[in-house]
Amino acid sequence: MTNQQINVELNAQMSELVHVGDAITRLLSALTSTSDIEATIYELQLAVHEICANIIDHSYKDAENGKIKLALSLTDGNFIADICEQGEAFDPDAVPRPNLEDGQIRGYGIFLVNQLMDVVEYTSTAGGNCWHLAKQL
């Protein structure tokens, strides 16, 4: 099994989000390419992308020059993304589950992350805030 890690630091700007997908593609490039793997890569890209977009939208709402640090790893088929920032703390429990039957303007992001990943954890300390996402591939 491949054990790899990629660290990426992003400026907290929407224009930087494209690098999230590139980093995940690079991390998983050693896996044999099948349509299933391509779908998995897309889902991981979307989950990490949604967290980063959420950080830019909420944690760094009033901040310029914010940074997002991503540590992406693949260990024995387990994908892990640790995503840390120094912005305002976020309360994931305060995000209502979207009423999907009616169509929602907000709320799809965290819902999708929860659907796409096995583990979604958030911790906020004086040193910063971190999201921990994991999925067994």
Partner 1 sequence: METIVVSLNDRIDAFNAPQLREVFEGLLSAGHVNFIVDLRDVKFLDSAGMAALVTLLKRARQSSGDVNLTWPTLEVSQRILKLTKFDRVFTIKNNIADFNVTVSKTVTFPQ
CB atoms within 10 A of CB 6: 15
In the complex with partner 1, the residue whose CB is nearer, 53 or 134, is: 53
Q: By C-beta, is 93 or 101 nearer to partner 1?
A: 101
- For residues 57-81, one letter each, b for 16 or more C-beta atoms within 10 angstroms of the residue's C-beta and e for the rest, the string is eebbeeeeebbbebebbbeeeebeb
Q: How far is the CB of 126 from partner 1 (least distance, A)?
A: 28
How many Cβ atoms are within 10 Å of 133's Cβ, its own excluded?
Answer: 24
- Shortest reach from residue 3's CB to partner 1, in Å: 26
Nearer to partner 1 (CB atom), residue 32 or residue 125: 32
Report, in Å, the least distance between residue 58 CB and partner 1: 12
Residue bearing tokens 């994908």: 79
Partnered with residue 131 across adjacent β-strands are: 83, 122
DSSP state of 98: P
CB of 47 vs partner 1, minimal distance in Å: 10
Helix residue spans in the chain (DSSP H): 18-27, 35-54, 108-116
- List residues near partner 1 by CB under 8 A: 14-15, 17-18, 21, 35, 38-39, 42-43, 45-46, 49-50, 53, 56-57, 98, 100-106, 108-109, 111-112, 115
User: Which residue, 3 or 14, has its beta carbon nearer to partner 1?
Assistant: 14
